[in-house]
Structure 1
């Protein structure tokens, strides 16, 4: 499938007043500037996966650092562990960015998904006026009717030797009857003050540019750049009893007590062992 610019979509810009398309021209004007991170912003009407497309472009030398690919609809969107991400057209923000952090040791690149989580949460807090929290390592949580719900996710993939593509999916205007699973949520259902996707996307990308710049300037040191502290402050997983389902069908149960310098979740078990978890599925068992 060949991506098409959203401006070429079937029908006029006002064909869906509840969910108008993104304004690609205005987004480029607002985000692409001399000396800034974002080098190009492309909005396509329909695509399989923004991450897959941008990884392909990056490895083929057709995209540089700061490329942003946004889709009004994804037909093969993916989350962690190859889980599918589905949503109605124009109901959310579905985009990927290409980063090439050459001045940061590769060992610290694992912080990029967590950095993106901090940037997304802080950008949405400013632009949407809704409280958000982070579930380690890459879920965005909102509160709907007193219940914690997942409204977004982040997926990072290597793109060649020197690139990382980070994909972000955020449910913005999904109604209750449109949720893919009962545990999902959206900014609208969480009572967001604003759900206009243009300012939301601008806020998130500006926040990402700011945090990425600080992280790079610190050589990727999460403590020196304030990233580790910011992530811990916004992480809903810390202080809770959790179960980590690990590769090899092993599980660890205990209290999530910290996020260490490598971005791993540290779990204190009943046996008195503090076990760092770098990859796995985390289940919140009890509130903090």
Structure 2
């Protein structure tokens, strides 16, 4: 699908006054500055996937590092493991950013989705007044009625030899009757002090710029940059008994005891073995 610019005439964008459109010009004024990370902020009315669009631009050398693409609505948004991510128009923040960490060893690029998780959680804590948590590797959790719910997710994809596109989806004003599954949530349902998406997006992108700068300055070292410690502090998976559903229909049950230097989740199994998990689906198990 071809992106439709948010400036296109479309009366329907005013059909829900609780969900006003983003102010693209104000976002650019606030975020794009000399010497800063963000070089371009574009808001489109609708597209299939901001990640797919930005990867295509990056590979075609039509986007510089720091390009930000935001969609008011996505018709083919993707999460991890090829899961679909859909939500009503203007009910959330759906955006992708292009990063080119050329001075960081490629072996450390796997930290970028975890870094983004820390940045999103930090930014939302400041702007929305919410205590969010991270489910390894990259789900954003909020608490609603004493229960953990997923309110956001992150997907990183390679873009050519030197680029990574990181996509973020956050449910902001999704109402209870609009939740795609009972385990989903939104910032509004969790009691956010504001659901104005403009300051929320600014806070998240400023936090991402800060964490990305620290990580690059440390050569991508997760310990030296403080990233590994910050991720562990905000990770709701650690200390829990979990089931890791791995490729090849294999699964492991154990206690999540650490996130190692490669960003992998380390499980201590009942056999006394510590096993690192680099990919797979993690299920938080309830205590017996």
State if a TM-score over 0.5 links the two structures.
yes
Residue 2 (structure 1) shift = 2.3
Counterpart-to-counterpart distance in 1, 2:266 and 2:102: 28
Residue 286 of structure 1, CA deviation: 2.6
Report the equivalent of 1:147.
Answer: 147
Q: Is the 8 A contact 1:7 1:24 kept in 2?
A: no
Deviations 1:184-235 (A, max 9, x none): 0000000000100000000000000000000000000000000000000000
- Return the alpha-carbon distance in structure 1 between the equivalents of residues 157 and 128 of structure 2: 28
**Equivalent residue, structure 2, for 1:87:** 87
SS at match of 1:286: coil
2:118 aligned residue: 118
Provide the residue aligned with 1:207 in structure 2. Answer: 207
Counterparts of 1:9 and 1:143, CA distance in 2 = 38
The residue matched to 1:245 in structure 2 has which SS? strand
1:78 aligns with: 78
Q: Residues 23-69 of structure 1: CA distance to partner in whole angstroms, max 9, x if unpaired?
A: 00000000000000000000000000000000000001111100000
Task: Report the number of matched residues.
Answer: 288
- Local SS of the residue matching 1:89: coil
Q: How far 1:263 moved relative to its partner?
A: 0.2
Structure 1 Cα separation of the partners of residues 192 and 269 of structure 2: 37
| Partner in structure 2 of residue 50 of structure 1 | 50
What does residue range 1-12 of structure 1 map to in structure 2 within 5 Å?
A: 1-11=1-11
Deviation at 1:9, TM superposition (A): 4.1
Which position in structure 1 is the counterpart of 2:170? 170
Residues 138-165 of structure 1 show CA distances to partners (whole Å, capped at 9, x for unaligned) of 1000001111000000000000000000
CA RMSD of aligned residues (A): 1.2
TM-score by length of 2: 0.98
**Match for residue 98 of structure 2?**
98
Q: Determine the structure 2 residue equivalent to 1:278.
A: 278
Alignment partner of 2:140: what SS?
strand
In structure 2, distance between residues paired with 1:138 and 1:9 = 36
Name the TM-score, length of structure 1 as normaliser: 0.98
CA contact (8 A) 1:73 1:94 kept: yes
Q: Which position in structure 1 is the counterpart of 2:129?
A: 129
Match of 1:180 in 2: 180
Task: Tell me which residue corresponds to 1:222.
Answer: 222
Aligned to 1:31: 31
* Offset of residue 13 of structure 1: 6.6
Structure 2, unpaired ranges of 5+: none
